[in-house]
Structure 1
Amino acid sequence: MPIAILPDVDEQRCIGCALCVEICTALGPDVLRVKPVEGWKRGKAFVFYPERCISDGACVGVCPTHAIFWMRPMEYTAGQPVPLHKNGVFSKGWEEG
């Protein structure tokens, strides 16, 4: 499995506005998608094409709720969705909180 520097989305903070998806698609990488979440009208953003990420941080900058955290080392399988970290807390590394 390759190691990459990728954005991560906190599902608890994401309001489903899709600004991150729009900016990422407009700039070219097209890394993020919005998935339906039960009980949530607009869905939530998640990293779908991690291998396309160019680590420019545009998605981080447009998020109004700071749900997208700066890039972090992560293992992934190319072509597979990257799972969200439910209740993820960054404190000297990622821990489930």
Structure 2
Amino acid sequence: MPVAILPDIGEQMCIGCALCVEICTTLGPDVLRVKPVEGWKRGKAFVFYPERCIADGACIGVCPTKAIFWMRPMDFTVGQPVPLYKNSVFVKGWTELVD
């Protein structure tokens, strides 16, 4: 599995403006998508194609609520959405990377 430093999006802070998705798509990497959220008009951004990220930080720069930040290096499966949280708890910790 590849390992990368990827953007992470705090779902509580994301207002669903999709500026990050627009800039990422315009610049070429096309890493982010917007998913529908029950009870929320716009939806929320999330990392869908982690293997495409070029780590330029454009998405971080356009986020009006600072909901996007760099996260730790992580393993991911090419072509699969990155499941960062499970029941609002981070699934893997730093110690799990050390074998």
TM range (shorter): 0.7 to 0.9
- TM-score, normalization by structure 2: 0.83
Q: CA-to-partner distance for each residue in 1:47-97, whole Å, 9 max, x for gaps?
A: 000000000000001000111012431111110001243366xxx9xxxxx
After superposition, where does 1:18-33 map in structure 2 within 5 Å? 18-33=18-33
**Mapped contact 1:21–1:32 kept (Cα < 8 A):** yes
Work out whether 1:52 is the aligned partner of 2:52.
Answer: yes
Give TM-score, length-normalised by structure 1. Answer: 0.85
Give me the identity figure in percent. Answer: 82
- Structure with bigger gyration radius: 2
Give the RMSD, CA atoms, in angstroms: 1.8
Do 1:46 and 1:84's aligned partners in 2 also have CA atoms closer than 8 Å? no
What 5-or-longer segments of structure 2 have no aligned partner?
95-99
Secondary structure at the aligned position of 1:45 is classed as strand
Asked if the contact 2:6/2:53 (under 8 Å) is kept, the reply is: yes
CA contact (8 A) 1:9 1:45 kept: yes
Q: Distance in 2 between matches of 1:77 and 1:53?
A: 13
Whole-angstrom CA distance in 2 between matches of 1:84 and 1:44 = 14
Give the match's secondary structure for 1:59.
helix
Q: Which has the higher strand share?
A: 1
Matches within 5 A, 1:1-97: 1-85=1-85, 86=88
Distance in 1 of aligned mates of 2:32 and 2:80: 12
5+ residue gaps, structure 1, are 93-97
